[in-house]
Structure 1
Amino acid sequence: MAALRLLCSRLGLCTRVAVSGGMRSCASPTEACACSFSSSTRLRVKFYTDPVEAVKDISDEATVLVGGFGLCGIPENLIGALLKTRVKGLTIVSNTVGVEDFGLGLLLQTKQVKRIVCSYVGGNPLCEQQYLAGELELDLTPQGTLAEKIRAGGAGVPAFYTSTGYGTLVHEGGAPIKYYEDGHLAIISKPREVREFNGRHFLLEEAITGDFALVKGWKADSAGNVIFRKSARNFNEPICKAADTTVVEVEEIVDVGSFSPEDIHIPSIYVDRLIKGKHYEKRIERLTIRKDEDEKPKDNKRTRIIKRAALEFEDGMYANLGIGIPLLASNFISPNITVHLHSENGVLGLGPFPLKDEVDADLINAGKQTVTIIPGASFFASDESFAMVRGGHLNLTMLGGMQVSKYGDLANWMIPGKKVKGMGGAMDLVSSPKTKVVVTMEHSTKANEHKIVDKCTMPLTGKRCVNRIITEKAVFDVDKMRGLTLIELWEGLTVDDIKKYTGCAFAVSPNLKPMQQVVT
């Protein structure tokens, strides 16, 4: 305090600084006071009771960063306020785009959004429809890259290099961002600059900042410090730091000093406006309840894949499981080992699906399903989550696939002009050579088209990234220079059968074995 008074005195500013309720403020209303001595325009957190008042100066064509993952941790009241202000032409930066009748989907219904920068639109068919009809610009960005672009923007880092997306449309450019009404391309993505470090290729990605950030916290104190609850931290934390004006809505505002300083997730320096939300629906996108312990899975080809995939788990490993077949493999982890399951939305230590009375809207996995956690679990923000992914701290990632090439190229996120779900975190998950990548998928399409091919015809998720392929018919190891080797074969099938169902040549292991299954 003495140092502050001395500095202000030398500059001819007010030196009557008082401390009240743990917050510093000027003791007199002079224009030139210590409160105004700052290199930024942020003076103090402003508190609001009306969400419309908190966002009414968001203008047409503004760029707005919006927190949340699916419907978990979305700023419901602030999104509702934008519906009332009728602002239009918005560029929205958000990991996902809600559902048709909730969250950001409401702004799509009223056509207030011009462009969306996100990683996944799978839960919102309205977004996909508007995009394919030429009504909406859609800039699909790998989830970890998106989190890091936002983190970099908040940290004043203009750009960074990442291996995520090398060899894909993200790298090469040409991904459709906007269509004309007749289906022709109006806007396509630009190619990225590439640089080599230690024999690996990396893309230059530019940071993202916004005019406003809309954030959902759990609690805030009267100084403006914020904490989040469980997996609702997700993109909210990095988004807080990357906008000119950050507006945070919370469920509760407590007295300053109620939080231990070491427990604060977002210091007040990042918060401009704060409001206590009046109502929270906290809708759950994919309510998932644990089934009866005695219920046994049906013996079908999906179960066959799952039971083989479960043999990939080893005691003590850290693993990330994709939506669908990979996630189901967790049901067959041996009780004699411990596997730490990681989820991109900011959870390490996933447990089983909850019982009915354990359901928590603030605790979901990357598939937006309700989950539980095991003792020793932890929560963190999305940028931290993908630091674990890209940094090679995971031992295993298991993903589904649309196509896999004989050299381990993977395609699993898009059919141009037809199916647009987004890559989510998949491109990041296959980007580290330190992490074993296992693809679990049915051997052929429903139309009996090959899914294991010489060369992928669909947009790539990753180039030469797959280490093993598990189908209901066989298991292949992938050498990224030599190609495929058949190592296991389902009982009753021959090598010639596998050749018939596989769209590329492969070697056969001299130690070819029957396809293994976990014992249940």
Structure 2
Amino acid sequence: MPSSATLFSRTARHFVSPNSSKAGPSSNSVILARTFASSTRRFEINKVLPSAAEAIKDMKSNSTLLCGGFGLCGVPDTLINQVEKTPSITGLTAVSNNAGVVGSGLGLLLASKQVKKMIASYVGENKVFESMYLSGEIELELTPQGTLAERCRAGGAGIPAFYTPAAFGTVVQTGELPLKHNADGTVAAYSNPRDVKIFNQKSYVMEEAIRGDYAFIKAYKADRLGNVQFRFAAQNFNGAMARNAATTIVEAEHIVEPGEIEPAAVHVPGIYVKRVIQSTSPKGIEKVVNAKPAGAAAAASALGSGDTASKRERIVRRAAKEFKNGMYANLGIGMPMLAPSFVDASVEVQLQSENGILGLGPYPQAGAEDPDLINAGKETVTLNPGASVFGSDESFGMIRSGRIDLTILGAMQVSATGDLANWMLPGKIKGFGGAMDLVSNPAQTKVVVTMEHTDKKGRPKILKQCEFPLTGRKCVSRIITELCVFDVDFLSGLTLIELADGVTVDEVRAKTEAPFKVADNIQPML
């Protein structure tokens, strides 16, 4: 197909002057040709705007705003800061993995009262938000992290709703989540119960897609056509949200010419992007964690000192035996993250982090921290050779489909038939994070819980039925404590299979509310 310039050239050659008796070049045609040649760049696609103020000048109140980022990684701070400077924009419904932190990210818009509702998976790091929510100043729609990513992806793909195994049998499915409180702290409104349907003898929860009016996206590179490239774990929610909104605005660290981003390296094609600005905000790190001397001894020292540290080291050492060569594993925050340090060198396991990393490496050396490389706990990390990075929507697709062989999580309570409660304590507002997704496919992903046998008051944490809100039903297949190891059958209950040195069956019974059987060939817990 001929280019516009070629078509224009052909037209110019056949232009007939009103003062000419024959076809051919005329003074008018020459002028038009010269004008076209000198003004070609005026007609090119150019989505780059000079400032954040220009990019949001038509942004309306009461809009739905999607904000990429995970912790402080990949957060579009330049655009968020500009909204804070524009107090006429109010009543926003903000959709983000988390609610920012005090004084940064969406935390600014919460403090300025420009957000009326948050849709998020985790809000535990923002005490200002917690106070506003409990006093009725803001609404909160808590959503499992993988479900949130898929709701954003589906909205951008023209899919109005979908079914997911995550959160079946929890307060998300039953509609018992408080959306809004009264000023006195009582609940003013609850969430809606979800439709449930059975596919292949398994229950799934229906979730509706989210559709954004605006999306604020942080990119590593963008060109004037709107093509976008992310860097490492900063992709997180940015990719799915960039494809979603009616008006997607990208702030880029580097604005480059078309062609400078290799076609195969374009993470979001320009068709989804309306505006591009230069990012002017420094990148932050929420939790700097540095490498310690390699080996099990160093990992043990990270657990602290005294009796508590001794208990935890016993748990972590035993958890390390769950790893088998070639496994893909996802580890929760805290003790589970230390388990790989105790794994034999002959066992190679690839660690997955739900914010978008496969091939997670150790913590970085001091001074080598990278704000675009964090794990699901928002801690600084590195990548092992052969690692890959991707968006949160793809990460949770791996998880829900059972590609992860093993997940090791902490817990507040576990029931006799493998129900798990690990996301909320009474009076505390944290959020689900990715746990509901991680335990949603126990038939293919082995779920192991590591926890101390009793709470700080000496009360059992292994119960007939969980008292706290559930993360998942019939999902835990093994429990490892400082006293013992239980295998869990979702129908028949617990079987004691290992005992720690010096621990008796009677001691375990005294500290376990749930009934259990004792294996015929009970083994020492090593």
Q: TM-score, normalised by structure 1?
A: 0.90
Distance (whole Å) between structure 2 residues aligned to residue 503 and residue 475 of structure 1:
15
Match in the other structure for 1:72: 73
Q: Letter of the 1:96 partner, please give it.
A: N
State the Cα distance separating 1:46 from its structure 2 match.
2.4
Corresponding residue to 1:240 among 216, 239, 242 = 242
Match of 2:356? 346
Match of 2:151 among 140, 145, 149: 149
Q: For residue 60 of structure 2, what is the amino acid of its counterpart? A: S
Question: For 1:127-179, what per-residue CA distance to the aligned partner results, in whole angstroms no more than 9, with x for missing partners?
Answer: 11211122111111000000000000000000111111100011111111111
The CA deviation string for residues 209-251 of structure 1, in whole angstroms up to 9 with x for no partner, is: 1110000000112322110000000000000011110000001
Q: Which whole-Å CA distance do the structure 1 matches of 2:113 and 2:342 have between them?
A: 45
Cα distance in 2 for residues equivalent to 1:124 and 1:27: 55
Q: 1:495 to 1:254 in 2, by over 3 A?
A: same
Secondary structure at 1:386 match in 2 = helix
Among 457, 464, 473, the alignment partner of 1:463 is: 473
Per mean C-alpha deviation after superposition, the further-off stretch among 489-498 and 325-334 is 325-334
Matched, 1:361 2:371: yes
Deviations 1:71-97 (A, max 9, x none): 000001001001111121111000011
What is the deviation of 1:201? 0.4
**Partner SS, residue 167 of structure 1:** coil
RMSD between aligned residues: 2.0
More deviation in 293-302 or 105-114?
A: 293-302
Residue of 424, 442, 449 corresponding to 1:439 = 449
Number of matched pairs = 485
Q: Cα distance, 1:44 vs. partner?
A: 5.0
Is the 8 Å Cα contact of residues 52 and 84 (structure 1) preserved in structure 2? no
Q: Could you say which residue in structure 2 is the equivalent of 1:476?
A: 486
Quote the offset at 1:45 in angstroms: 5.0
Contact 2:453 2:511 in 1 (8 A): yes
The Cα shift of 1:27 comes to 6.0
Displacement of 1:204 after TM fit? 0.9
Deviates more, 1:100-109 or 1:150-159: 100-109
Once the two structures are TM-superposed, the CA of residue 456 in structure 1 deviates from its matched residue by 0.8
1:4–1:142: structure 2 CA closer, same or farther, 3 Å change rule?
farther
- What is residue 134 of structure 1 aligned with on the other side? 136
Candidates 331, 356, 370, aligned match of 1:321: 331
Q: Percent identity?
A: 53
Segment of structure 1 superposing worse, 322-331 or 465-474: 322-331
1:112-135 C-alpha deviation (Å, 9 max, x unpaired):
111100000122122112111221
Contact 1:193-1:204 at 8 Å conserved across structures: yes
Q: In structure 2, what is the Cα distance between the partners aligned to 1:140 and 1:328?
A: 29
Query: Match of 2:290, as an amino acid?
Result: I
* Distance apart, 1:4 and its partner CA: 9.3
Residue 46 of structure 1 is matched in structure 2 by: 47
2:346 counterpart residue number: 336
Structure 2 alignment gaps of length 5 or more? 6-34, 38-42
Match of 2:437 in 1: 428
**Distance in 1 separating the partners of 2:58 and 2:450:** 49
In 1, the alpha carbon distance for the partners of 2:238 and 2:227 equals 14
Tell whether 2:403 aligns with 1:403: no
User: 1:4–1:334: structure 2 CA closer, same or farther, 3 Å change rule?
Assistant: farther
Residue 93 (structure 1) aligned with residue 87 (structure 2): no
Per the alignment, residue 399 of structure 2 pairs with: 389
1:75-224 equivalent positions in 2, closer than 5 A: 75-86=76-87, 87-224=89-226
Q: Is contact 1:56–1:85 with CA below 8 Å preserved after alignment?
A: no
SS in 2 for 1:215: strand
| Contact map agreement 1:66 1:94 (CA 8 A) in 2 | yes
Q: Give the whole-Å Cα distance in 2 for the aligned partners of 1:164 and 1:27.
A: 58
1:415: how far off? Answer: 2.9
Q: What is the Cα deviation at residue 278 of structure 1?
A: 2.2
Partner secondary structure for residue 312 of structure 1: coil
Cα distance in 1 for partners of 2:174, 2:224 equals 48
Q: Equivalences for 1:8-27 in 2 at 5 Å?
A: none
Name the amino acid aligned to 1:62.
Answer: S
Contact 1:237–1:266 (Cα < 8 Å) also in 2: yes
- Give the drift of 1:2: 4.4
Of the structure 1 ranges 142-151 and 181-190, higher mean CA displacement relative to structure 2 is found in 181-190
User: 1:485 and 1:94 mapped to 2: Cα distance?
Assistant: 41
Give ranges in structure 1 of 5+ residues lacking alignment: 6-25, 29-34, 36-42
Within 5 Å, which residues of 2 pair with 1:251-266? 251-266=253-268
Letter in 1 for 2:287: R
Question: 2:47, 2:225 within 8 Å by CA — same for their partners in 1?
Answer: no
SS class of match (2:141): strand
- The offset of 1:49, in angstroms, is 1.8
1:328 positional shift = 1.5
On the 8 A contact 2:405/2:444 being kept in 1, the answer is yes
Secondary structure of the residue aligned to 2:367 is: helix
Residue identity opposite 1:467 in structure 2: S
Larger Rg: 2
Which whole-Å CA distance do the structure 2 matches of 1:111 and 1:448 have between them? 42
- Specify the code of the residue in structure 2 equivalent to 1:147: A
Runs of 4+ residues deviating >2 angstroms = 1-5, 43-46, 292-299
Contact 2:424-2:430 within 8 A present in 1 as well: yes
Judge conservation of contact 1:45–1:272 (CA < 8 Å) in 2.
no
Quote the Cα distance in structure 2 between the aligned partners of 1:309 and 1:272.
49
